[in-house]
Amino acid sequence: MDTHSTPIPHRPSRETQIRVLPARMGYADQMESCHQAAYGYSAAEVDEPECLTAEHFRQHLQVFPEGQFMALDTATDRVVGTTSNMRLNFNLHQQNPRSWAEITSDG
């Protein structure tokens, strides 16, 4: 699915068909495609630690479902945005520069 090359039509009214919703398992494949489009990598590169796959999104939903959201075009039932969140404890006064991959054990 080539999410970034499909134009979103202009809507002259203030009404929108984009809804931000809690992410759902059934949309994990679309969330993967959306992430690839946003960060400019292909399915062939998903072995990189920062590349999130549908399986990563499913794992996020199992571990912390209340922190996962998606933007859904309700007219086409297409994911057009996604976010992955986590909770962690750290000391702001200590240096904790770690990557997402390190903190999450590769996603």
SS3 5: helix
pTM above 0.85, yes or no: no
On whether residue 52 sits in a domain, the answer given is: yes
70 φ, ψ to 5°?
-140, 150
Q: What is the Rg, in whole angstroms, of the alpha carbon atoms belonging to the chain?
A: 16
Number of domains the chain contains: 1
Which DSSP string corresponds to 11-55? -SSS---EEEEE--GGGHHHHHHHHHHHHT--GGGTTSTT---HH
Q: Kindly give the confidence (pLDDT) of every residue in the chain, 107 residues in length, as a single tens digit, with 9 standing for 90 and above.
A: 444 555 656 666 667 789 999 999 999 999 999 999 988 887 777 666 678 889 989 988 988 888 899 999 999 999 999 987 766 677 777 776 566 667 666 55
Instruction: Specify if 34 maps to a domain.
Output: yes
Residue 2: the pLDDT is 46
3 in a domain, yes or no? Answer: no
61 lies in which domain range?
22-85
Q: Are 79 and 27 in contact (CB under 8 A)?
A: yes
The answer to whether residue 49 sits within a structural domain is: yes
Q: Is residue 12 part of a domain?
A: no
- Is 101 contained in some domain? no
Q: Has residue 17 been placed in a domain? A: no
In a domain, 42, yes or no: yes
Residue 43: per-residue pLDDT: 74
Phi-psi region of 88 (alpha: psi -120 to 50; beta: other; left: phi over 0): beta
Question: What pLDDT sits at residue 103?
Answer: 67
